Amino acid sequence: MLMFSAFVRSRTSWGILLLSGVALELAALFFQYVMKLDPCVMCVYQRVAVLGIAAAGIIGLIAPALMLIRVIAATIWGISAVWGVKLAYELYKIQSDPNPFATCSFLPDFPKWMPLHDWLPSVFMPTGMCTDIPWTFLNVTMAQWMIVIFVAYVIVLLLFLSSIFSRR
């Protein structure tokens, strides 16, 4: 436990968190622009959740030895990961039981002060439909993979929290 506690207080741990978020964002752009899979609005929201996780990594990198920084970073990480699980599960439900009356929006509902789809439409403008399942791997849809990924982020966060608040 002492080694893990030191790992949580290291820049390496927060750098890994940042790199994992950047890797997922790059994968999303690969799916969109190389594989020509159009993201739906729920996919775009999940991109924002992953950006929140990457932002937590950046904040943690600032001064990982300081408890306040670790708590702020972990809070952003937790909010983003739990929101990501919720979004991925909602998308999975839409795809697994398509209902013509339960459709997703064509435009994201970002706050007026942060219209990401206007600022960077190449990343945050949805062009696909939520009911489409354009890709599977090992017979698992992208929405299901994202549930697994976000749940893994939550589990790792719980391990981090046990060390973040330890006095050692």
Is 47 among the catalytic positions? yes
Does the active-site annotation cover 70? no
Sign of the C-alpha dihedral, residues 126, 149, 136, 24? positive
Does the annotation mark 168 as catalytic?
Answer: no
Exactly one of 9, 104, 167, 168 is catalytic; name it.
Answer: 104
**104 catalytic, yes or no?**
yes
Which of 47, 70, 167, 168 is labelled catalytic? 47
| Beta strands at 136-137 and 140-141: parallel, antiparallel or unpaired | antiparallel
Helix, strand, coil percent values for the chain (each to nearest 5):
65, 0, 30
Torsion angles phi and psi, residue 37, rounded to 5: -100, 115
φ, ψ of residue 158 to 5 degrees: the values are -60, -40
Backbone region of residue 61 per phi and psi (left: phi > 0; alpha: psi in -120 to 50; beta: other values): alpha
Q: Dump strand ranges (E) for the chain.
A: 136-137, 140-141
Give me 32's structure tokens: 């969109």
Answer yes or no: 9 catalytic: no
Phi first, then psi, for residue 137 (nearest 5°) are: -140, 125
Catalytic residue among 11, 40, 70, 167: 40
As annotated, the active-site residues are 40, 43, 47, 104, 130
